[in-house]
């Protein structure tokens, strides 16, 4: 059997972004629960900067993906497994877009958004309702992404450790 892997750039960006997502959710959750202090707002600054970087990385990732061969699971996994894994992957992609985008919107309406010392343009109209909507969605969408990440991890581990079809172990494609 030919083992077809994801291309090196896609593998590298998968693990870099996986690390960033875990870090951003952890820091986001921690900083939001702190009392007001200079430290809290320093963390907000880092969270916004790395969150924006994640948005740029996602765009780069999708552009690279369009030009890369993607390993097929046909004949390796059952139809329902392929359906579930694709639904999970594309939901993760969607949330990797919507979470930082809602962060950008809520943090740039009515104030200046700076990331790594650079001031970013405000791309959306001045609107309290839009800001509140973005704010009320940002956290819940991030925690939904965490839940999907756990499902994704469970899928990878199931195929590696508890599957009697050796070819169903898809982890080496991403390593």
CB of 43 to ligand HEM, least distance (A): 9
Candidate residues 107, 109, 131, 134; the one interacting with ligand HEM per rule CB under 6 A: 107
24 binds ligand HEM (CB under 6 A): yes
134 near ligand HEM (CB under 6 A): no
Residue 44 touching ligand HEM (CB under 6 A): yes
Cα separation of the two ends of the chain? 18
Residue 89 sits in the site that holds ligand HEM (CB under 6 A): yes
Tell me if 131 contacts ligand HEM by CB under 6 A.
no
Q: Which two tokens stand for residue 81?
A: 């497994």
Identify whether the C-beta of residue 126 lies closer than 8 Å to the C-beta of residue 110. Answer: yes
Listed as own residue / partner, the contacts of 7-13 with beta carbons closer than 8 Å and 24 or more positions apart are 7/64, 7/68, 7/69, 9/64, 9/68, 10/61, 10/64, 10/65, 10/68, 11/174, 11/175, 13/57, 13/60, 13/61, 13/64
Return residues touching ligand HEM (CB under 6 A).
14, 17-18, 21, 24-25, 28-29, 32, 44, 47-48, 51-52, 54, 65, 70-71, 73, 85, 89, 92-93, 96, 99-100, 103-104, 107, 113, 138-139, 142, 145, 149, 152-153, 156, 170-171, 173-174
């Amino acid at each position: 059997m030919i083992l077809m892997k994801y291309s090196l750039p896609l593998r590298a960006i998968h693990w870099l972004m996986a690390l960033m997502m875990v870090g951003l959710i952890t820091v986001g959750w921690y900083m939001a629960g702190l009392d007001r202090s200079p430290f809290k707002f320093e963390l907000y600054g880092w969270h916004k900067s790395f969150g924006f970087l994640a948005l740029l990385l996602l765009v780069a990732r999708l552009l690279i993906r369009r030009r890369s061969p993607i390993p097929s699971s046909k004949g390796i996994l059952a139809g329902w497994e392929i359906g579930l894994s694709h639904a999970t992957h594309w939901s993760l992609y969607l949330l990797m877009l919507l979470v930082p985008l809602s962060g950008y919107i809520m943090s740039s309406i009515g104030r200046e958004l700076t990331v790594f010392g650079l001031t970013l343009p405000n791309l959306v109209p001045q609107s309290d309702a839009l800001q509140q909507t973005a704010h009320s969605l940002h956290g819940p969408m991030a925690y939904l992404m965490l839940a999907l990440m756990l499902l994704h991890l469970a899928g990878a581990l199931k195929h590696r450790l508890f599957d009697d079809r050796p070819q169903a172990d898809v982890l080496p494609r991403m390593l």
